[in-house]
Structure 1
Amino acid sequence: MSDSLISVLALIVTLGVLITVHEFGHFWVARRLGVKVLKFSIGFGRPLWQRRGRDGTEYVIAALPLGGYVKMLDEREGEVSPNEAHRAFDRQPIGSRIAIVLAGPLSNFLFAILAYSLMFMIGIPGAKPLLDDPVPGSRAAAGGFGKGDLVVAIDGKPTPTLSAVMLELVDRAMAGEVIQIKVTDTEDRTRTRTLDLRNAPDLSDAAQVFSQVGLIPWQPVLPAVIGQVTRGGAAERAGLQPGDQILLAESERVKDWRHWRDIIERHPGKPFSVRIDRNGTEQVLELIPDLRDNQRGAHVGFIGAIADVPDDLAQSLRVVVRYGPLDAVSAALGKTWDMSLLTLRMLGRMLVGRASLDNLSGPLTIAQFAGQAATAGPIAFLSLLALVSISLGVLNLLPVPVLDGGHLLYYLIELFKGSPLSEAVQNVGQRVGIVVLLLLMGLALFNDFNRLLG
């Protein structure tokens, strides 16, 4: 199956599951509070499947899986018979209306908690947060970090994996804090290092946060032997295979994997010859590295291949975070809360211009990540589902008319005002909300195409 087809299918599953979760929250609470539901739709546009339940609700799966809706009986949208007026949404007490609107985003958060709980019970694999010598003159060098430091906690919060350290650094950088990082050094002594993130640059990209503050994950000296190649990448196109040993690159003797990576980065989009040893037979291949930007904005080459790491070394650098059922739920609650706050802080920084709008992603980027996560295994895919579910929950709570948060804003105003806003004001708000959403969707799609074409 092609990567593109996997990505499309993974996107449909991702959005289908999370939209269903969100809309079912509205549906379930509305039904429990006595509101009549006319239609429960996953997707928009032409129905692909539909049926009417015994309760009179029409259930629909539509062609465009980019949203969904629950249509309830409402006197503002059509005539309601007197004997059913008490089941109309607009006739419900304000507390009931707030509960129905809140139920969608809260269902997304609940789904994330369940997903993270399952992941923590199964066990989440990761890399140990072991550090190399920091970049000279960097914030990390000024903080006293050294080769062999193993990060244990950041401001008292345990960081068992490298990805946990990255997320904490991104979070702290948004707050512009001086943070205390507990490490164990090469002599197994506990030390406290200081990292000053005040006035730090945009650290919203977790993949680049280490290099931007000068931290370098520990890298063993590995032979220049191919371990894995990415499908469709430059390495596969050139004919490189797992087990190939790189001997020469343009007549330059390749010392180790780090040297090999440096050569690749010096040739973005430029062909060069490579002599390899494959099962005792030498041969020459032509390699044309793909191009990407590093953290300094410079073009560098990459080929989509990783080194062959001996099993014993890989095991020594690997950690699995696993909890019992109760601890897993507690950890999942904390993870969902942390990721929700991180999403809010990111949105806030973009709003005030302190983070790049390039961080907005649309369906094409989500499809790409969904495809990668689906091929990486169930834990990776569950992690993506949880993250996107949190993003949907947070975004839907923003006080933008059309979104759930916009309706909540209207109801809070009604609560304090004692009467609903006029229909004219609400209609203006709806139009503004639609324009805002269209602008955000347009920007997200623009970013998607930029990433694909870049």
Structure 2
Amino acid sequence: MSLLIIIPAFLVTIGILVTVHEFGHYWVARRLGVKVLRFSIGFGKPLWKRVSKDADRVEYVVAALPLGGYVKMLDERECEAGCEIPEHELPRAFNRQVLWKRAAIVFAGPLANFLLAIAVYALTFVLGVDTFRPVVEVRADTPASIAGFQTGDTLTAINGEPVASWDDLHMLLVEDYLKSPRLEVSVTTRDGNNAQRVLDLGDKPMFKDESDFLNKAGLSLWTRGTGISGVLAGSAAEQAGLQAGDKVLSVAGTSPQSVHEFIQIIQKHAGQTLSLQIRRGDNDVSINVTPQSKELDGKTVGSLGANVGAYMTDAARAELAFTQRYGVFEALWRGVVKTKQMSVVTLKLMGRMLTGEVALKNVSGPVTIAQFAGASASIGLGAFLGFLAIVSISLGVLNLLPVPMLDGGHLMYYLIELVKGSPVSAEVEAVGFRIGMALIGCLMVLALYNDFMRLMN
């Protein structure tokens, strides 16, 4: 992917998220009568600065390092040696505000990120989200196949919650799995019957690596097409003349309805010549192939010697693709629900990371964020807005963690103050600052290490 897409998309993403977060602090502080000295997007040397014309003379700054920002308020604790705050300004100092005002100003930053996510999700639902109906393909020897799922099943509800789209399916599966690994799933089978399946994921480590959750469960979108993505040297596929990019129309007179069905047919015909109908570009080609014999789980099966993958046929796209669109009020409500779902899931995954149930390699840093920003921007506005909402929620949740230096750390101090009746001491705040700095530093090192390993792989 071109850096000409990645870098601007990353800067736009970070710029929006930081501006919204800091504006939350700024707006509430101003409304509650606290004097704001500077509103800065980024750290370091100012690249652009403007001073307001009102009596407060607020400095608005865009600085060189874009990974963050801050709102500097009048505060006696930050008054350097020799400086004096005029007597008439003291009531507007942040440190002199009552507890609820200070808490409201601090909480306003993360709240602004959640409100941004709600607005973005609502906007995408009004504009229309291109998605697919939740019709699944099932792989053999997976939790889904053991539970009795069949290729062509349409998932209609999970633990009683209706499933309207493929996006809903993914979110509800993760959300309900984090409550209990045993899921009650309602389906409509390929022949139109209603059925109940019990998907038990209790023995499956679902978050130990970065592979897709649905794929681990044994489910994927039923695209109906099987394509050849690569051919191994000296294989039956190479000898028959198969090429990467070929699309399988039929094998032995049968049109396979999934990659799994195609593989099953090949495995059952070791040493037997099969007729393949292939679409290569705009042409249909007939090829005879004889699967080679190999041992698999103590059995002799046929092997094509090719990498096969799914692609969506025109018929499947016509049947499954649709646009999920709602009116303004319904879209707004769905934005609230989706933001709540994502927030709870994010918080639970962070908690399970501490217990080891979620691998630390799932932590991402600025490089990965930049790559996803570029990828989503290259897909289109809807994908980029969805990505923006996810990162905004993650930023909001992260800032509410009770870690000194973060907004959640300040809120923790305020809770202690509420209980004991007086603020925590400067010594405690200093120790907390060092602890918070160390924790955030370790998190950044881990995130950058994971980014580096992803690039290397």
TM-score normalized with structure 2 length: 0.81
Q: In the alignment, residue 155 of structure 1 is paired with which amino acid?
A: N
Instruction: After superposition, give the CA deviation of every residue in 1:226-275 in whole Å (9 maximum; x if it has no partner).
Output: 9xxxxxxx99xxxxxxxxxxxx963334374559x99xxxxxxxxxxxx9
Following TM superposition, by how much is the alpha carbon of 1:278 offset from its aligned partner in structure 2, in angstroms? 5.7
**Equivalent-residue separation in structure 2 for 1:388 and 1:439 (angstroms):** 20
Share of identical aligned residues, percent?
47
Describe the SS at the equivalent of 1:375: helix
* C-alpha spacing 1:309/1:187, structure 2 compared with 1 (3 Å): closer
**Partner deviation per Cα, 1:47-92 (whole Å, 9 max, x = no partner):** 1100110231000000111000000000001132111000000000
Q: Structure 1: which amino acid aligns with 2:239?
A: S
Structure 1 pair 222–165 and aligned structure 2 pair: CA distance change class (3 A) = same
Choose from 84, 97, 105 the match for 1:100: 105
CA distance in 2, matches of 1:204, 1:377: 31
Q: Which residue of 2 aligns with 1:61?
A: 62
Of residues 176, 181, 186, the one that matches 2:185 is 181
Q: Would the aligned equivalents of 1:172 and 1:197 in 2 still touch at CA under 8 Å?
A: no
- CA positional deviation for 1:172: 2.7
Whichever residue aligns with residue 329 of structure 1, its letter is L
Deviation larger for 314-323 or 392-401: 314-323
Deviation by residue 1:201-220 (Cα, 9 ceiling, x = unmatched): 13377852223222343231
Match of 1:114 in 2: 119
Kept in 2, the 8 Å contact 1:135–1:216? The answer is no
Report if aligned partners of 2:41, 2:66 keep a CA contact under 8 Å in 1.
Answer: yes
What stretches of structure 1 of length at least 5 have no aligned partner? 227-233, 236-247, 263-274, 283-299
What's 1:270 paired with? none
Matches of 2:86 and 2:306 in 1, distance apart? 68
Q: How does 1:205-354 map to 2 (within 5 A)?
A: 208-222=212-226, 250-254=238-242, 256-257=247-248, 307=311, 309-310=313-314, 312-354=315-357
> Which secondary structure does the structure 1 equivalent of 2:109 belong to?
helix
Q: Distance in 1 between matches of 2:105 and 2:307?
A: 49
Task: Choose from 136, 152, 163 the match for 1:148.
Answer: 152
Q: CA deviation at 1:223?
A: 6.2
Range that drifts further, 156-165 or 435-444: 156-165
Moved more, 41-50 or 143-152: 143-152
Q: Distance in 2 between matches of 1:132 and 1:325?
A: 34
Contact kept, 8 Å, 1:176 with 1:200, in 2: the verdict is no
Distance 1:204-1:106 versus aligned 2 partners, 3 A rule:
farther
Contact 2:158–2:186 (Cα < 8 Å) also in 1: yes
Aligned pair in 2 of structure 1 residues 360, 194: CA closer, same or farther (>3 Å)? Answer: same
Deviations 1:309-335 (A, max 9, x none): 43x431212122111111111111100
Write the deviation string for residues 343-393 of structure 1: whole angstroms up to 9, x where unpaired.
Answer: 001100101111100110000000000000001111000001100000000
Q: Write the mapping of 1:398-417 to structure 2, written as runs, cut at 5 A.
A: 398-417=401-420
Q: Give, in whole Å, the separation in 2 of the partners of 1:375 and 1:51.
A: 33
Distance 1:426 1:10, change over 3 A: same
Q: Partner amino acid for 2:155?
A: V
Question: What is the one-letter code of the residue matched to 2:92?
Answer: R
Aligned partner of 2:170: which letter? M
Cα distance change of structure 1 residues 278 and 336 upon mapping to structure 2, 3 Å threshold: closer
Structure 1 distance, partners of 2:431, 2:227, is 65
Distance in 2, matches of 1:179 and 1:306, equals 27
**For residues 301 and 361 of structure 1, do their structure 2 counterparts lie closer, same or farther at Cα, with a shift above 3 Å needed?**
farther
Distance 1:181 1:279 in 2: 41
Q: Secondary structure at the match of 1:221?
A: strand
CA RMSD of aligned residues (A): 2.8
2:12 corresponds in structure 1 to 13
* 1:253-300 deviation line (CA, Å, top 9, x unaligned): 4374559x99xxxxxxxxxxxx99666799xxxxxxxxxxxxxxxxx9
Distance 2:322 2:337 in 1: 20
The amino acid that maps onto 1:394 is V
Report what 2:256 is aligned to.
none
- TM-aligned CA distance change 1:220 to 1:280, over 3 Å: closer
C-alpha separation between the residues in 2 aligned to 1:376 and 1:347? 29
User: Counterpart amino acid of 1:37?
Assistant: V
Cα offset for 1:3? 1.3
- 1:288 maps to none
2-structure distance, mates of 1:223, 1:425: 62
In structure 1, distance between residues paired with 2:240 and 2:133: 33
* Cα gap change, 1:82 to 1:23, in 2 (>3 Å): same
Q: Which stretch of structure 1 is more off in the superposition, 346-355 or 185-194?
A: 185-194
Please give the alpha-carbon distance, in whole angstroms, between the structure 2 residues aligned to 1:302 and 1:20. 46
Distance in 1 separating the partners of 2:34 and 2:306: 59
| SS of corresponding position for 1:76 | helix
Selected match of 1:164 from 158, 162, 168: 168
Q: Which amino acid aligns with 1:58?
A: E
Which one of the candidate residues 435, 447, 450 is aligned to 1:432? 435
How many residues get paired? 400
Q: Are the counterparts in 1 of residues 210 and 362 from structure 2 also a CA contact under 8 Å?
A: no
Other-structure match for 2:205:
201
Q: Which SS does the other structure have where 1:147 is aligned? A: coil
Q: Structure 2 vs 1, CA of residues 318 and 447 (structure 1 numbering), >3 Å: closer, same or farther?
A: same
| Rg larger in structure | 2
Query: Aligned residue for 1:442?
Result: 445
List gaps (5 residues or longer) in structure 2.
249-258, 264-277, 286-304
1:50 aligns with 2:53: no
Contact 1:174 1:203 (C-alpha < 8 Å) held by counterparts: no
Query: d(CA) in 1 for partners of 2:324 and 2:143?
Result: 29
From 393, 396, 399, the equivalent of 1:393 is 396
CA distance in 2, matches of 1:355, 1:317: 33
Which of 340, 361, 364 in structure 2 is aligned with 1:361? Answer: 364
Give the Cα separation in 2 of the matches to 1:308 and 1:155. Answer: 29
